[in-house]
Chain A
Amino acid sequence: MTAIDPTAHLTAEQIEELGRELDAIRDEVIAGRGEKDAAYIRKVISAQRTLELVSRGVLLFSFFPPAWLIGTAGLSVAKIMDNMEIGHNILHGQWDWMRDPKIHSTTWEWDHVSPADQWKHSHNELHHTYTNVIGKDNDLGYGIMRVDEDQKWHPFHLGQPLWNFINACFFEYGIAAYDLELGKNLHKRRRKNPEFRARAKAVGRKIRKQVLKDYVIHPLLSGPSFLTTLAATFTANLVRNIWSHSVIMCGHFPEGVQVFERRSIKGETRGQWYLRQMMGSANISGSRAMHFMTGNLSHQIEHHLFPDLPSNRYAEVAVKVRALFEKYELEYVTGPLPKQVFSAWHKVFRLSLPNKKPKVKTPDREQELVAA
């Protein structure tokens, strides 16, 4: 909803045609899903489990500094793999077609304090359906930040660079609170709502298990390495949190990404829905390793168009999607990670202040100046 609508040059027919072309891309991938894809996700899952096991094993000797470094690095990567390429994507139903009950959106649980089912609701349902619609998509600043000029400014936003930094460090807790809609539900009356209480209890249980594992049991198992293992798991969680926060910020916050008004999605057609996903998301460019470590959320645009396609297919889909962007003369927002992270943070700082007054002098203002 920026001043100039970057899609204004498209006719309604063109938008529906674009939708059909995207549907065709989707159908092609679905028809081609098979053994190779299944082998891919199984390989990633067993690699993650092996890496986590080995890293935890190495951390038993973490009083020895090289062991600490190796174990912490391994555990950080294992946790990132669990959350990004495995957890996020399985919980999107990307692998449900395999009919393997162990790799399924209804059974998967991840190394994260937000229980999978609550996250699926706030993320898959609210965020993915209402992407970047002000007032409907709470991912737009997570309810603690202002990330677009069209959002109302409040003095609270002055502190948002700090809120954002704290949120990055404790991102999994931020997400859990966010999935609980804590801001809205902490009012006295809502706090007593049994449905909310049940969900809060589930989060409490999950936090207890996660904390017990990372900060009590594994350090205790390490015996003389108790403190160093504790520090290692804390570091791994911190690294994972900051990494996933950065990747996710790059998905919708960099400059060039559009937001939408609530009334703009009334009676939205399939083509218009696709167009909103295209304009509301941004990619990260980089190597294959980079795409893997972001859980292929570096292909955020493709992910938002086709959230249920297997993540290992986004790279090939991206080539076709990008060609459509060019064909329809739309801006494909992408860039290397440092650039995108900087752009997103820049926005966070910029919008912590109220909007600058338009530079155009109004006649009234001129008169005032003259009078002065």
Chain B
Amino acid sequence: MKLVLAGVAVLGLSACSPRVALEAPKEPITINLNVKIEHEIRVKVDKDLDALFQDQSELFGGSSQ
């Protein structure tokens, strides 16, 4: 419990520490990785990955999205 309190205190401190002002980027960040795979397979893998993200949301987070 003490450890938890200490952790909360540390979190609290870091939240209050002066923060370098970062300007939010105006355009959305897009990261193009140029993964080269045949289109048909890519579509299939994409589907499999969507299913994976959905079924195993604990591996990817953001289940509420």
Genuine A/B complex: no
Q: What is the interface of chain A, defined by CB distance below 8 A to chain B?
A: none
